Amino acid sequence: MPKVGMEPIRKAALVKATILEIGRTGSLDVTVSQIAKRAGMSSALAHHYFGSKEQIFLAAMRHILSLYGAEVRGALAMAEGPRARLTAILRASFTAVNFRREVIGAWLNFYVLAQTVPEAKRLLRVYQARLHTNLVYDLRKLVGARAEEVARGTAAMIDGVYIREALKQQAMPDGTAAAAMALQYLTLELDKTE
Amino acid sequence: MPKVGMEPIRKAALVKATILEIGRTGSLDVTVSQIAKRAGMSSALAHHYFGSKEQIFLAAMRHILSLYGAEVRGALAMAEGPRARLTAILRASFTAVNFRREVIGAWLNFYVLAQTVPEAKRLLRVYQARLHTNLVYDLRKLVGARAEEVARGTAAMIDGVYIREALKQQAMPDGTAAAAMALQYLTLELDKTE
Amino acid sequence: MPKVGMEPIRKAALVKATILEIGRTGSLDVTVSQIAKRAGMSSALAHHYFGSKEQIFLAAMRHILSLYGAEVRGALAMAEGPRARLTAILRASFTAVNFRREVIGAWLNFYVLAQTVPEAKRLLRVYQARLHTNLVYDLRKLVGARAEEVARGTAAMIDGVYIREALKQQAMPDGTAAAAMALQYLTLELDKTE
Amino acid sequence: MPKVGMEPIRKAALVKATILEIGRTGSLDVTVSQIAKRAGMSSALAHHYFGSKEQIFLAAMRHILSLYGAEVRGALAMAEGPRARLTAILRASFTAVNFRREVIGAWLNFYVLAQTVPEAKRLLRVYQARLHTNLVYDLRKLVGARAEEVARGTAAMIDGVYIREALKQQAMPDGTAAAAMALQYLTLELDKTE
DNA sequence: AATGAATGAGGATTCATTCAT
DNA sequence: GATGAATGAATCCTCATTCAT
């Protein structure tokens, strides 16, 4: 039996290792060798699969963004009514899957990567656009014309909570508390207009 | 008598150049040579005055943080009453001096630097602590026990607005709009309790 | 299957090149690039295998010391009786393998290296201790209580002859004459007590 | 009053500082700045007086060699008879002035310098030649034809004792013991022929 | 006389990337 | 598929030396 189907396994291992390494060091100054080592292979193989370091980073970004997207979709599927849906989106943003030490560190660095690498910027904008659309969709029903504005505020709050968590560097981020902070803002906006 | 007194001039030029370069490239991957060149001197001289690249970065951070501090102090000096003071703090956060393209890019990267360099983390924490104290001081009078919570929310909002601006990369950041977004949150909190 | 097993070959080539370069220039101010070039590879590869310049130097030292050790052991294996053994040790010290231009130059510089690099000092002390032990072992039988003293004198004489040879810088060191000088001292000591 | 006559003072201070620094670090990798700082002046001034680092080193060498020469001359002046004179020369070699920590370290490094800098080699050869002449002069009367040979052996012994002391790096070198070791060899040679 | 200012040249080290096997 | 081998390019940093004052 030929060793087929290794590609997705290897790639997944590299993506995971990349996030861990970026999260661990808190910086993009991670070498391909470090990543490959943690993924249990040679750096040459990493290049073989991804072509370049930049592509490895982008794959890691896509992974995190898709994890996030999945979490949000899952949460939305169970929520009934605009308010519940909005709450679900926010909660999903601070789930244990997303609001982990490494992921938070990676997140911050992806913002930096986006300053340099166009594709990274594009990815981040896609994420922002989706979040915005999702928020506006339900906000429209609750705050009408102010939906856009409130959506922007909410998104800013989410990012702000993330970035501040990155600085705390405590062992275990408290997703619940973080979600509460973001929810607090949203609630104020909603209750004001209701 | 030797040519004398260049040190502060050179250092200031380097700090300025550092912020410009970090802002321009949107990353800490800036070489000392680039910085020195932009500051109109050799990289050797940059090292002579600062000792290391890290120290150059830290000096740039200190500069930005002190600019920010000055702006806040200046605004506070003219404000009467807690509400006006809180508004002043927020407005100061998005003044033309602080909310410039380069500075925003630098800000983001300083958060990254703080993940690696202890002194950078310390500086950022000092900034956060000061902001927190300032906010709580006036919030106490307006929202009482919830002061701490609201202060944290406000700070998160400020950081969130900054980080999102970094991604826009438009020619001229709109400080007024940014301030408005942060103020909106604060207003909601204040009006709720009043 | 990758090209494999180059490490020992490369390392050996680098060690040899290091000794040659130090011997040629008569100083430790040799660049890794020079060494690597002479060894037929890039300086990056030299670092890859040794990690640092210091490690390259230490490897070269170990090589020379082990050559010396082997020479002494070989000579001792064929010698019968304490006097013959002592003579063998001295002769081995000035064998063609050891008493070469480059090796003499390297030797001197290793003494300098030992002033700065602890591991180098340790290596040199190990060499001295072994020589001392070897000498004392046989001297004890011939001069009894004075063995320690005579051993120290002999060792000093060996080092002295080496250092003076370094200054001559003639094309071909005369190992026989050098050995004779050291033997002369030893003979005097032995004959005096006999 | 103009500040005249500073030159010899400055030069002397630099020479002293050079020996101290070389002795302290045990290597020639001493910067002009370090030397100048220890001598209480700027590195620019050091260059002003000596022209180059190499010249500073050479001046330091000359100083040490002349100290040594003076010590020997002084000792010879008081000695009566060939045997006493020879003893005096050896004793002078390990006087407190010469056999100091820094001076020993400097000595070793001057041998290294001599490998690179022709003038340094010349100086060292002059020293060796003088010592040789001095020794032979008196040895001739005591051992006749063997004078040359014994002189070379004695000189080697002196250098050997120095180099080994450099490795000990103990706080206070024991000049008396060192002298005794060299004298022991000489005595053997003399007593053998007498 | 004296020094702060300034730099060019160089050197150790790192790393993404390529290649032969 | 997989990796050890190999390197060019880059970067930080140091330092002897020069210069203007």
For chain D, how far is it from start to end, CA to CA, in angstroms? 65
**Pairwise CA distance, residues D147 & C30, whole Å:** 40
User: Chains contacting A with at least 3 CB pairs below 8 Å?
Assistant: B
**Pairwise CA distance, residues C92 & C127, whole Å:** 14
Render pLDDT for C50-80 as a digit per residue (tens, 0 to 9).
Answer: 999 999 999 999 999 999 999 999 999 999 9
Nearest to C82 by CA among C178, C162, C158, C194: C194
Nucleotides of E under 7 A from a protein CB: 1-21
Mean pLDDT of chain C: 94
**Amino acid B3: pLDDT:** 74
**Amino acid D57: pLDDT:** 98
**Amino acid A192: pLDDT:** 76
Nearest to A57 by CA among A130, A7, A117, A126: A117
Chain-centroid distance of CA A134 in Å reads: 15
**Pairwise CA distance, residues C137 & C160, whole Å:** 22
Provide mean pLDDT across the span A28-43. 97
pLDDT at B24 over 50: yes
List, as own/partner pairs, every contact residues D84-87 make where C-beta atoms lie below 8 angstroms and the sequence separation is at least 24, other chains included.
D85/D138, D86/D135, D86/D138, D86/D139, D86/D142, D86/D186, D86/D190, D87/D183, D87/D186
Render pLDDT for B29-67 as a digit per residue (tens, 0 to 9).
Answer: 999 999 999 999 999 999 999 999 999 999 999 999 999
Higher-confidence residue: A169 or B62? Answer: B62
Provide mean pLDDT across the span A141-150. 94
Considering only the beta carbons, identify the residue of C116, C159, C163 that sits closest to D27: C116
Å between CA of D33 and C1' of F15? 9
Residues 9-28, chain B, touching A (beta carbon < 8 A) = 25-28
For residue D185, which residues of chain C lie inside 8 Å, CB to CB?
Answer: 153, 157, 185, 188
Q: CA of D37: how far to CAs of A89, A90, C66, D182, in Å?
A: 65, 63, 42, 38
Nearest to B154 by CA among B107, B123, B186: B186
Non-local CB neighbours of B136 within 8 Å, separated by 6+ positions: B147, B148, B151
Question: Is residue C84 within 8 Å of C91, Cβ to Cβ?
Answer: no
Chain-centroid distance of CA A63 in Å reads: 9
**Pairwise CA distance, residues B17 & B7, whole Å:** 15
Regions in chain D scoring below 70 on pLDDT = 1-4, 193-194
- Inter-chain contact D156–C153, Cβ cutoff 8 Å? no
Protein residue nearest nucleotide E21, by CA to C1': C2
- Inter-chain contact D181–C156, Cβ cutoff 8 Å? yes
Question: Is residue A169 within 8 Å of B111, Cβ to Cβ?
Answer: no
Query: HEC states along chain C?
Result: CCCCCHHHHHHHHHHHHHHHHHHHHCCCCCCHHHHHHHCCCCHHHHHHHHCCHHHHHHHHHHHHHHHHHHHHHHHHHHCCCHHHHHHHHHHHHCCCCCCCHHHHHHHHHHHHHHHHCHHHHHHHHHHHHHHHHHHHHHHHHHHHHHHHHHHHHHHHHHHHHHHHHHHHCCCCCCHHHHHHHHHHHHHHHHHHHC
- pLDDT band of residue A3 (cuts 50, 70, 90) is low
Provide mean pLDDT across the span B110-127. 96
**Pairwise CA distance, residues C84 & D2, whole Å:** 73
Nearest to A37 by CA among A13, A58, A57, A54: A13
**Amino acid B172: pLDDT:** 86
Non-local CB neighbours of A29 within 8 Å, separated by 6+ positions: B116
pLDDT at B193 over 90: no
Chain-centroid distance of CA C24 in Å reads: 16
Question: Is residue D27 within 8 Å of C115, Cβ to Cβ?
Answer: yes
Render pLDDT for A176-192 as a digit per residue (tens, 0 to 9).
Answer: 999 999 999 999 999 87
Q: CA of B41: how far to CAs of B5, B19, C169, in Å?
A: 16, 16, 46
D133: left (phi over 0), alpha (psi -120 to 50) or beta: alpha
Burial readout B150-178 (b: 16 or more C-beta within 10 A, e: otherwise):
bbbbbbbbbbbbbbbbbbeeeeebebeeb
For chain C, how big is the Rg over CA atoms in Å?
18
Residues 65-124, chain D, touching C (beta carbon < 8 A) = 105, 108-109, 111-112, 114-116, 121, 124
**Pairwise CA distance, residues A32 & D194, whole Å:** 77
Provide mean pLDDT across the span A48-58. 98
Alpha helices in B40-146 (DSSP H): 43-50, 53-78, 82-93, 101-116, 118-143
For residue B125, which residues of chain A lie inside 8 Å, CB to CB?
Answer: 167
Joined together, the tokens standing for residue A132 give 């915005």
C44: the nucleotide nearest its CA (via C1') is F7
Whether D and A touch, i.e. at least 3 CB pairs below 8 A, reads as no
CB pairs < 8 Å spanning C and D: 114
- Inter-chain contact C114–D181, Cβ cutoff 8 Å? no
Residue with tokens 């045990």: D26
- pLDDT band of residue A4 (cuts 50, 70, 90) is low
Highest mean pLDDT among A46-50, B142-146, D103-107: A46-50
User: Chains contacting D with at least 3 CB pairs below 8 Å?
Assistant: C
Joined together, the tokens standing for residue B60 give 């740039």
Protein residue nearest nucleotide F6, by CA to C1': C45
pLDDT at C7 over 70: yes
Q: Give the side-chain half-sphere CA count within 13 A for D107.
A: 29
Å between CA of C43 and C1' of F4? 17
**Amino acid D5: pLDDT:** 80
Render pLDDT for A69-108 as a digit per residue (tens, 0 to 9).
Answer: 999 999 999 999 999 999 999 999 999 989 999 999 999 9
**Pairwise CA distance, residues D100 & B182, whole Å:** 72
CB contact, 8 Å: D188 with chain C?
A: yes
Tally Cβ neighbours within 10 Å of residue D7.
10
Question: Is residue D131 within 8 Å of D124, Cβ to Cβ?
Answer: no
For chain B, how big is the Rg over CA atoms in Å?
18
**Amino acid D3: pLDDT:** 57
pLDDT at A193 over 60: no
Nearest-Cα distance to chain C for D78, in Å, is 28
Q: Give the side-chain half-sphere CA count within 13 A for A95.
A: 18
CB contact, 8 Å: D42 with chain C?
A: no
Q: CA triplet A41, A32, B54: central angle to 5 degrees?
A: 145
**Pairwise CA distance, residues D71 & B130, whole Å:** 69
Alpha helices in D79-100 (DSSP H): 82-93
**Pairwise CA distance, residues B23 & B100, whole Å:** 9
For residue A108, which residues of chain B lie inside 8 Å, CB to CB?
Answer: 111-112, 115
For residue D115, which residues of chain C lie inside 8 Å, CB to CB?
Answer: 25-27, 105, 108, 166, 169
pTM reported for the whole predicted model: 0.94
- pLDDT band of residue A1 (cuts 50, 70, 90) is very low
**Amino acid C108: pLDDT:** 93
Render pLDDT for C134-181 as a digit per residue (tens, 0 to 9).
Answer: 999 999 999 989 999 999 999 999 999 999 998 887 778 899 999 999
Question: Is residue B14 within 8 Å of B59, Cβ to Cβ?
Answer: yes
Non-local CB neighbours of B151 within 8 Å, separated by 6+ positions: B131, B132, B135, B136, B139
**Amino acid B2: pLDDT:** 59
Non-local CB neighbours of A73 within 8 Å, separated by 6+ positions: none
Q: CA of A132: how far to CAs of A28, A92, A143, A155, A181, in Å?
A: 27, 15, 15, 7, 19
